[in-house]
Amino acid sequence: MPFRAAEARGQGSAVNHSDMAWTKRRSCSCFVCEAWRVQYLNRNLPRFVLGLGTNRLEEALASIDATNTANRAMPKLERLEQRYYLSLISMAVIDLTLFSIFLLLSGKFSLIVLRLPEVCAFLIFLNLIGAFRLFRPIRHFLLTGQGRDAAEVRAARLGPMTAIWVTIVSLLFTISSFIITPFVFFDVPLTPEVAFILVGRALTWFVLLPYVAVIMLQEYLRLLRRSLYEDYGIAVPAGHSKLGRKLVLIFLGGAVVPAVSIAITLLMVPEVSPISGQPRSVVVVTTIAGATIALLLAFWATQRSTSAGFRSLLHAMRQMRKGELDARVVIETDDELGRLGEGFNALSQELAISKAETARKEAERAQAARQFHEAQKREALGRLSAGISHDFNNILAIIVMYSDTVRTRLPAGDPNRKRLEEVLIAAGRGKDLISQILDFTRDKAEEHENFDLVGNVRETINLLAETVAKEIDIAFKGPDQTVMVCGYPTGIHQVVANLSINAIHAIQGRAARLEVEVDVSTPDAYKLQFLKEKFSEAENNTVFRQASDGTAKAYLGQLKARPYGRIRVTDNGSGMTLTTLRHVFDPYFTTKPVGEGTGLGLAAVAGIAAAHHGGVVVETSERRGTSFFVYLPLLEEKDSARDG
């Protein structure tokens, strides 16, 4: 019945057209029939004859898939809808049951047929029409997959709306069957006494019938919520009702109202009912029976839903403890338990997100550490090879020099000459071998190239921050644009690493803080002029001086008044005196063991800066710590043009 009604409205409900005649199907405009037509033609005609073009065909095939989904939904839909109606039919069942009890006790069971018309008219027919209309948005969604939001809203409100509806139906029914029918059809005398009794009866039934219907409805709504969640992923939000309030209503409706009704019956109604001619005990028993059934149903339903709610929550928690973070609670009721479930779901979602975030950060950190370890290993290998090669080359030098000296001083025919030649050949092979090893481990990027200073320094700082600088604070500041220089990227890595590690060693035992900054700076022309005179008297192209505020300064290499890329490394140590500063560029190392230090220390920094035709400036004071400034000439237009 419902389907044809939908079709009549021209909505093209997409189900069950398969029993439609082919003539009708050919002209039906719903998408299922369209898909069916395409599929039919596709099977029976070569594709190119169809002249549909692949786009239309793909659309059609997609809609066939939609149909299949819709078809699968059908049995589910039918079951959901039927259970809804069944829960409401409980009103009719209860009424007939109680009436039967009354009639059985009175011995007039055949009179049941008098009740049937009204029960059918109101409690079945009218009831279901209203219910059908109430269910419509949900049905529409389940059939077509559209109107998800409307369905969700309706599902949340279905309980209260249906409750109101069954109350209306019950009102009409009780008025009709307890008040109108007896007077109109059964010649009941119209006395105040009778009226009073009938109204009392009506009120009791008026409360009892919706009471039972709503209880059954609650059970049904749990099923609906569960179905919508499990099959369609719709989490109908828990409402605002309170379990306590429900229990109060259950008590009122199931115990208080019947008790009041019984009391009134005992007080007001005479021994024998003027309406039915039955002893009033029969009425009382019927009322008690009704109340008992209703109360039992209510407690059963409440107990079921509460248990189920707790069970679901416990199950989800158990799953989460096992580590399955996508455990979710199905929200079956609209009271506190439902809200508890919602809260739990939100919590587990947060947990899952934060765990994923942690895992991601962990992975990033591991990756950075791995990369740095790789770089360190290569560097260690390089250092090892370097150490070996240096000593080895010295040893070879001794072998070669002495052997060759002896060889050249032997007489021409002496066989020992030839033997010493073999020695020299072997030494030559040794040299080649060492050369190869060195080439293999040397960083290939020791080539002269154009690169971005900011990116280079940032790389070094990132690597240092991940590993060496756990205990210290390194802050990097750089401009947003690139600062292009021409030179040796590895050399600059070494410069920054050297300066940073030196600073760290210098600030031992304190909360070390390092600032590294890259910017573009043009040395002041006046200052350069002032320094020029100093340079002319200076040794090694280095000027040392003490500024008026007590800061000790050193200038290595003469700069020009043009823009340079500048690296600044500042530490928060206690600075150096001028005397110390003078010695800080003296190289330090031990010749024998391979190992600690970066070889020639700050001399290497000075050398690398010189190799770039730049310079180094040091400013140090007790108050402000020590700052190293490394100046590197910027890549100029003509330079890039020359190289490019």
Partner 1 sequence: MAKILLLEDEAPLRSLIAELLEEEGHSVNQCEDGTISLNKEALSASALMITDIVMPKVDGLEAIRRAREANPEIKIVAMSGGGRVVARDYLRDAAIFGASVTLEKPFSPDVIVDTVRNLLRD
Q: Does 627 bind partner 1 (CB under 8 A)?
A: no
Let me know: does 159 contact 221? Beta carbons within 8 Å: yes
Let me know: does 328 contact 226? Beta carbons within 8 Å: no
The rounded distance, in Å, linking the Cα atoms of 598 and 612 is 19
Q: How many other β-carbons are positioned within 10 Å of the β-carbon of residue 149?
A: 11
Residue 387 Cβ vs partner 1, minimum distance, rounded to whole Å: 6
Closest by CA to 610, choosing from 540, 536, 537, is 540
Q: Does 443 bind partner 1 (CB under 8 A)?
A: yes
Which positions from 541 through 570 interact with partner 1, judged by CB under 8 A? 541
Residue 582 Cβ vs partner 1, minimum distance, rounded to whole Å: 13
Let me know: does 523 contact 631? Beta carbons within 8 Å: yes
The rounded distance, in Å, linking the Cα atoms of 87 and 89 is 6
Chosen residue from 108, 148, 383, 624 binding partner 1 by CB under 8 A: 383
Chosen residue from 12, 237, 239, 599 binding partner 1 by CB under 8 A: 599
Number of residues that bind partner 1 (CB under 8 A): 50
Task: Supply angle C-alpha 559, 560, 561, rounded to 5.
Answer: 130
Residue 447 Cβ vs partner 1, minimum distance, rounded to whole Å: 12
Chosen residue from 587, 636, 640, 643 binding partner 1 by CB under 8 A: 587
Query: Which of these ranges, 8-16, 255-263, 391-399, 616-624, lies near partner 1 under the rule CB under 8 A?
Result: 391-399
> How does DSSP classify residue 586?
S
List phi, psi (to 5°) of 335.
-110, -160
Q: Which 3-state string (H, E, C) describes 25-44?
A: HHHCCCHHHHHHHHHHHHHH
Chosen residue from 183, 251, 392, 535 binding partner 1 by CB under 8 A: 392
The rounded distance, in Å, linking the Cα atoms of 290 and 299 is 14
List phi, psi (to 5°) of 574.
-95, 15
Residue 544 Cβ vs partner 1, minimum distance, rounded to whole Å: 15
The rounded distance, in Å, linking the Cα atoms of 148 and 194 is 53
Q: Does 539 bind partner 1 (CB under 8 A)?
A: yes
Closest by CA to 551, choosing from 628, 620, 629, is 620
Q: Does 600 bind partner 1 (CB under 8 A)?
A: yes
- List C-alpha distances in Å: 198 to 116, 120, 194, 195, 401: 19, 21, 6, 5, 133
Chosen residue from 424, 501, 506, 578 binding partner 1 by CB under 8 A: 424
Q: With respect to partner 1, which residue has the nearer C-beta, 179 or 438?
A: 438
The rounded distance, in Å, linking the Cα atoms of 415 and 412 is 9
Q: Does 167 bind partner 1 (CB under 8 A)?
A: no
Q: Does 110 bind partner 1 (CB under 8 A)?
A: no
Q: What mask of x and - would describe binding to partner 1 in positions 294 to 313, judged by CB under 8 A?
A: --------------------
Residue 381 Cβ vs partner 1, minimum distance, rounded to whole Å: 9
Residue 369 Cβ vs partner 1, minimum distance, rounded to whole Å: 23
Q: With respect to partner 1, which residue has the nearer C-beta, 381 or 520?
A: 381
**Residue 634 DSSP SS3:** strand
Strand 473-477 and strand 513-521: pairing? parallel
Closest by CA to 468, choosing from 598, 627, 632, is 598
DSSP 88-145: HHHHHHHHHHHHHHHHHHHT-GGGHHHHHHHIIIIIIIIHHHHHHHHHHHHHHHHHHS
Let me know: does 441 contact 381? Beta carbons within 8 Å: yes
Residue 450 Cβ vs partner 1, minimum distance, rounded to whole Å: 19
Which positions from 456 through 495 interact with partner 1, judged by CB under 8 A? 494
Query: Which of these ranges, 8-16, 81-89, 105-113, 385-393, lies near partner 1 under the rule CB under 8 A?
Result: 385-393
Chosen residue from 7, 219, 342, 404 binding partner 1 by CB under 8 A: 404
Q: Does 607 bind partner 1 (CB under 8 A)?
A: yes
Q: Does 423 bind partner 1 (CB under 8 A)?
A: no
Residue 566 Cβ vs partner 1, minimum distance, rounded to whole Å: 21
Query: Which of these ranges, 108-116, 171-179, 518-526, 584-592, lies near partner 1 under the rule CB under 8 A?
Result: 584-592
The rounded distance, in Å, linking the Cα atoms of 464 and 232 is 51
Q: Does 394 bind partner 1 (CB under 8 A)?
A: yes
Chosen residue from 76, 245, 589, 640 binding partner 1 by CB under 8 A: 589
Q: Does 177 bind partner 1 (CB under 8 A)?
A: no
Q: Does 603 bind partner 1 (CB under 8 A)?
A: yes
Residue 328 Cβ vs partner 1, minimum distance, rounded to whole Å: 58
Summarize as ranges the residues that interact with partner 1 (CB under 8 A): 382-383, 385-387, 389-394, 396-402, 404-405, 408, 424, 427, 431, 434, 438, 441-443, 446, 494, 539-541, 586-587, 589-591, 594-595, 597-600, 603-604, 607, 610-611
